[in-house]
Amino acid sequence: MCGIVAYSGRQQARGILLDGLRRLEYRGYDSSGIAILNSTPYLARAVGKVAELERRVAQDEPQGLVGIAHTRWATHGKPTELNAHPHTDCQRQIFLVHNGIIENYQALKNRLLAAGHQFRSETDTEVLVHLIENAYNGHLESAVQKALLEVQGTFGIAVVHAAHPAEVIVARRGSPIVLGISADASLAASDVSALAQHTTQVVYLEDNEIARLGPGEYSIKTLDNRAVSRSATALERVAGDLERGDFPHYMLKEIFEQPEAVENALRGRVNHSEGVAKLGGLESVLDRLSQARHLIIVSCGTSYYAGLFARYAFETLTDMTVETELASEFRYRKLNIRQNTVVLAISQSGETADTLAALREAKRKGALVLGLVNVVGSTIARETLAGVYSHAGMEVGVASTKSFTSQLTILLLMALLVGRSRDLSYEEGERILRGLEEVPGQIREILKLSDAVRELAARFCQASHFLYIGRKYQYPIALEGALKLKEVSYIHAEGYAAGEMKHGPIALIDPSFPTVALAPADGSFDKVVSNIQEILARSGPVIAITTVGNTRLASLVNHVIEVPHNVEILMPLLTVVPLQLFAYHCAVLRGCDVDKPRNLAKSVTVE
Ligand code: G6P
């Protein structure tokens, strides 16, 4: 989604800002822009890729040590040059970039128009820069503060003014801003990946805070003017994660990083002597957690499917009643939150606006709110009472892969932790832990099938539609497999519970409509085979994912992918991998932009 980068330092700003934008490209965007302060401030904006903006900037060679830049993901107004950020005031003195949505923009715009302000775009953002212009009387930070007090909605902003050539003002409410500080420069961005090349010292801004940046210095206060003292914390690892190495795409690199991601998720968290998981981040709430009877999981996208899997895992391993709810729907349901209700937010980015809104709602209602988050220091991580980091490393590909397997691993550890404080036996706990430790090696085996999966993709990638089916633990994997295919290859795909197929989707089956059937040798295998038979009887092609050595399917369907055998509840960690590879290869063969699929964003910071 939209990305912000800002710089105030002693080097030319343009290279640093453009480099930041390139590092934010993965979030998804449709236009970009840059403003650099000088005696005549420089502004350039372009529709399409950052490369287009770079081309223009290279021609103009703007000079200046302070500037702001933005990638825009259109919400209000089409992706045009005029709607791209930075926006500027009537006098072209103030420049502003914004992530989020200004909900009362129409009322503010009417008022500003009546006062004679001239608007150039269709965006909600432009009202901000005119509000600041209105409030300005020689002091930029106070003007921004005053303007923001009138605003309803969400914002992460960066603002510069031609009369303040060393200064950048940033502020946030509901949309992340992180500061990066080095000896001679200060940066700000919506995402640490834009800063990691330049500094290892970061400061996270909280909601309703405003910061003033100068070369190598910063100060923070609240929007209602209380001083905030916050020192920088060290940033680790991100820079290395940003390199693609020999892989043609981040998505493939991240699929191949899954053995390490699962290892990292397990590292230091396995207690064999007691057959239980050790999750330091949950220790402070362990008592409440072991009393809890009701778990509600809230999340979006791939994290939602991890949550659907967790429902099965918690129901199997604990005596909790579990509901998994789409975060965007959570607030419309009247869920009974009691004293012993736990709400678990799952999010890779830790910034998804719907998930954040759901957890705030749950907090208001008195639930114990926990998080399972990948990005350290993200808003969801900070707003939950306790939680677990997945430590999957930075995920750049928009379509989530290693985060998903990492989430499944930790959700199993969480269920085990709760289960062992109740009825779950040591033997059962230990069997799962041993099985989990097998998973990284088994994923490595599956990754060797990548070429074979590419051949399969070559046979099928021209299909217009796909059905994915699975039962029980494999049902969320069918949904995730279908999501991966549509996200990156734009092939229409539906995930269905295998048993539900005969209540509708079977009407679609014909020789041009392939089905991917998740059929490991488990307790549901015979029933899934019956569903496969029903498809074959209607001449539908079937690709089956099953367990090594399971010969029954080979005589039935033409295309079988075999994964190693593990404990039934752990099989989703294995069966999802060929589905990720299949989606990836289909997308490449169809010439799609795998890492940055059209219209999608990595971090969805609007509701
Ligand atoms: C976006 C991404 C998905 C992701 C979803 C939830 O739609 O494109 O890959 O699964 O957001 O994101 P989260 O960061 O909360 O897991």
Any atom of ligand 1 within 6 Å of the Cβ of 27: no
Cβ(90)–Cβ(130) below 8 Å: yes
Q: Under the phi-then-psi rule, with left for phi > 0, alpha for psi from -120 to 50, and beta for the rest, what region is 70?
A: beta
How far apart are alpha carbons 133 and 205 in whole angstroms?
A: 24
Q: Under the phi-then-psi rule, with left for phi > 0, alpha for psi from -120 to 50, and beta for the rest, what region is 61?
A: left
DSSP secondary structure code for residue 505 in this structure: G
Any atom of ligand 1 within 6 Å of the Cβ of 463: no
Cβ(235)–Cβ(243) below 8 Å: no
Q: Which of 250, 602, 606, 607 to mutate to test the pocket of ligand 1 (most atoms within 8 A of CB)?
A: 602
Nearest protein Cα to ligand 1, atom 1: 602
Give the β-pairing of 201-204 and 178-181. antiparallel
The atom of ligand 1 lying closest to the CA of 327 is 15
In the prediction, which pLDDT does 234 show?
84
Task: Tell me the residue type at 92.
Answer: R
Summarised one tens digit per residue, pLDDT across range 46-57 is 999 999 999 999
Residue 118: burial class (beta carbons within 10 Å; 0-12, 13-18, 19+): exposed
Any atom of ligand 1 within 6 Å of the Cβ of 71: no
- Residue owning tokens 């640093």: 16
Local structure of 500: helix, strand or coil: helix
Any atom of ligand 1 within 6 Å of the Cβ of 390: no
Nearest protein Cα to ligand 1, atom 4: 301
The atom of ligand 1 lying closest to the CA of 302 is 10
Q: For 17, list phi and psi in degrees, rounded to 5.
A: -70, -45
How far apart are alpha carbons 218 and 12 in whole angstroms?
A: 19
Any atom of ligand 1 within 6 Å of the Cβ of 600: yes
Any atom of ligand 1 within 6 Å of the Cβ of 385: no
C-alpha R_g of the chain: 25
Nearest protein Cα to ligand 1, atom 8: 602
SS3 labels along 84-145: CCCEECCCCCEEEEEECCECCHHHHHHHHHHCCCCCCCCCCCHHHHHHHHHHCCCCHHHHHH
Nearest Cα residue to 128 out of 164, 145, 139, 114: 145
Summarised one tens digit per residue, pLDDT across range 405-422 is 999 999 999 999 999 998
In the prediction, which pLDDT does 238 show?
56
Any atom of ligand 1 within 6 Å of the Cβ of 401: no
In the prediction, which pLDDT does 417 show?
96
Q: For 78, list phi and psi in degrees, rounded to 5.
A: -65, 165
Angle between helices 105-114 and 126-135 (to 10 degrees): 50
CB atoms within 10 A of CB 100: 27
How far apart are alpha carbons 222 and 324 in whole angstroms?
A: 36
The residues near 311 (Cβ < 8 Å, ≥ 6 apart) are 297, 322, 323, 324
Nearest protein Cα to ligand 1, atom 5: 301
In the prediction, which pLDDT does 488 show?
97
Residues known to be catalytic: 2, 602
DSSP secondary structure code for residue 153 in this structure: B
In the prediction, which pLDDT does 96 show?
98
Any atom of ligand 1 within 6 Å of the Cβ of 347: yes
CB atoms within 10 A of CB 251: 30
In the prediction, which pLDDT does 243 show?
75
The atom of ligand 1 lying closest to the CA of 600 is 8
The stretches in the chain having pLDDT less than 50 are none
Q: Which of 25, 29, 302, 488 to mutate to test the pocket of ligand 1 (most atoms within 8 A of CB)?
A: 302
In terms of residues, how long is the chain? 607
